[in-house]
Amino acid sequence: MSEDLTRLTAADMAARLVAGTVTSVELTQAHLDRIAAVDGDVHAFLHVSADDALATARDIDARRVAGEDLHPLAGVPIAIKDVVVTRGMPTTAGSKILEGWVPPYDATLVERVRAAGLPILGKTNMDEFAMGSSTEHSAYGPTRNPWDLDRIPGGSGGGSAAAVAAFEAPLAVGTDTGGSIRQPGAVTGTVGVKPTYGGVSRYGLIALASSLDQAGPVTRTVLDSALLHELIGGHDPRDSTSIAEDLPPLVDAARRGASGDLRGMRIGVVTELDGDGYQEGVRARFAESLDLLRGLGAEVVEVSCPHFEYALGAYYLILPSEASSNLAKFDGMRFGLRAEPAEGPVTAERVMAATRGQGFGDEVKRRIILGTYALSAGYYDAYYGSAQKVRTLVQRDFDAAFEQVDVLVSPTAPTTAFELGAKLDDPLAMYLNDVATIPANLAGVPGLSVPNGVSDDGLPVGFQVLAPAKADDRLYRVGAALERALETSWGGPILAQAPELEVKP
Ligand code: GLN
């Protein structure tokens, strides 16, 4: 049997393309075949753009033969979360209200991906408007975890994480407002990075909460994330919150980390993000990883961030407030679904009500109600105002912590993947999955999740690294060092420990 190209890392695919031992058409076709074979079970994709991907692949192969100077990732296929707009390719954000909508423009990050010549395999499944931790709030049905098809792949970006974990794509883009890149990474055994706020353009992202949203890489290795981050990141004049500076050297940092030397690195364990509420196996793997980091020369100390305890509460007031305002544009007039009232006069207001009533799912409605309530005149100070004060206190905790240490670390998620349906009727239980990831979004600092073993239940767990704003390079250095040390102890990448999916002919 010929070699399975989908098992390579993106960096290895890129190297083989440059060496001329594989073509982009071969790589792209191998991934389209893999999607056809397993996505009926996994359901990572909402839309597969086979023709578009193969056209890009052919173009890149021809340009390479012609001796053109190409981007290092040219020809390596990628999947994009369906909350990112793509010209000529359906974009639903996992919602019925956008069913059939085909955007007239590309997000900046998509423009960069296309300009660099990465074939876009398709759009990945997600919780509706990125609200959720399990992908079960998708209006198009859940994605399943490749490690165990009865379990959730995390959320909201479960589709991107599952696609990468199931070898349907070597690279994917996700978005992270409270953990939606990192938590899916943790529960699927993949790497996910939320860049510094303003580090990757938000132009063309369907906004959930504009002050928290960031797009970032989803991959199988830390180096692959660095390669993708450098491609999609950097200043964009079309996003007013974009940082007008070059990114720090991320690929270099990942390579340096992989050499296994962390001498001089001060690592802070966040006291508040460990302990009760974290699954035993998650805690055990976390403690072992700290030992490995010490072994590489890092100094590991404990750091208290006392206000992190209130971060989840503040987030669930700030996020719904911003979301209720951002989602007001879905009015049945401009995009996607338009529903008319079942009876009575067809006024603009009644069309809006009917469209939103039918087009939005329960979780979206719940957050719109919460947000409009928190912002209402009589309650603004008590809820939204207080939450903003807590946000400042969380930012100050980070500032004080980063005076003492270079990076902070914690488990990424409190538990491994739970069973589909287990938390669907309990919003608070669902929200608690992001207890460790949310503080970074409130403060705008970058975070990375790298797989650090399997728990007693045989399911993967993740290790989170947090760095000061604009110091994303530190994530890659520590992440790559830990990844290398762990792989040495396991004898290979973590996904080699996942059971094989049944392949449909
Ligand atoms: N799970 C969190 C929420 O439901 C995070 C979502 C996200 O990062 N997009 O809000």
Atom index in ligand 1 nearest the CA of residue 181 equals 8
Q: Residues 366, 316: contact at Cβ < 8 Å?
A: no
Q: How far is the CA of 211 from the centre of ligand 1 (A)?
A: 13
- What's the whole-model pTM score? 0.98
Ligand 1 pocket check for 179: Cβ under 6 Å: yes
Q: How far apart are CA 318 and CA 375, in angstroms?
A: 9
pLDDT of residue 253: 98
- Indicate which residue of 180, 321, 410, 455 is catalytic: 180
pLDDT in tens, 207-221: 999 999 999 999 999
Residue 455's alpha-carbon distances to 69, 86, 186, 221, 286, in angstroms, are 45, 38, 11, 20, 10
pLDDT in tens, 131-179: 999 999 999 999 999 999 999 999 999 999 999 999 999 999 999 999 9
Q: How far is the CA of 76 from the centre of ligand 1 (A)?
A: 29
Q: Closest by alpha carbon to 192, among 166, 157, 240? A: 157
194 counts as catalytic: no
Name every residue whose Cβ is closer than 8 Å to that of residue 51 and which is 6 or more positions away in sequence. Answer: none
Q: Residues 136, 155: contact at Cβ < 8 Å?
A: yes
pLDDT of residue 1: 47
Q: In what order do the strands lie in the sheet with 191-194?
A: 45-48, 120-124, 78-81, 171-176, 214-219, 191-194, 447-454, 460-466, 407-411, 266-270, 299-303
Residue ranges with strand state E in 343-411: 407-411
Q: How far apart are CA 173 and CA 356, in angstroms?
A: 28
pLDDT of residue 274: 86
pLDDT in tens, 1-30: 478 999 999 999 999 999 999 999 999 999
- Indicate which residue of 24, 156, 201, 410 is catalytic: 156
Q: How far apart are CA 439 and CA 312, in angstroms?
A: 8
In one-letter notation, the amino acid at residue 1 is M
Atom index in ligand 1 nearest the CA of residue 316 equals 10
180 counts as catalytic: yes
Q: How far is the CA of 469 from the centre of ligand 1 (A)?
A: 20
Name every residue whose Cβ is closer than 8 Å to that of residue 496 and which is 6 or more positions away in sequence. Answer: none
Q: Closest by alpha carbon to 266, among 117, 405, 395? A: 405
In three-state form (DSSP H/G/I as H, E/B as E, the rest C), the secondary structure along 289-303 is HHHHHHHCCCEEEEE
What domains can you pick out in the chain, each with its CATH number?
Answer: 5-260+450-460+472-497 (3.90.1300.10)
> What's the rounded mean pLDDT across residues 87-104?
97
- Which has the minimum average pLDDT: 70-74, 80-84, 271-275, 390-394? 271-275
Q: In this structure, what token pair is assigned to residue 206?
A: 């369907």
Q: Closest by alpha carbon to 101, among 346, 353, 338? A: 338
Q: How far is the CA of 215 from the centre of ligand 1 (A)?
A: 13
Ligand 1 pocket check for 208: Cβ under 6 Å: yes
pLDDT category at 44 given cuts 50, 70, 90 is: very high
pLDDT category at 265 given cuts 50, 70, 90 is: very high
Residue 378 in 3-state DSSP? Answer: coil
H or E element: which one contains 316?
helix 311-326
pLDDT in tens, 429-476: 999 999 999 999 999 999 999 999 999 999 999 999 999 999 999 999
Q: How far apart are CA 339 and CA 63, in angstroms?
A: 47
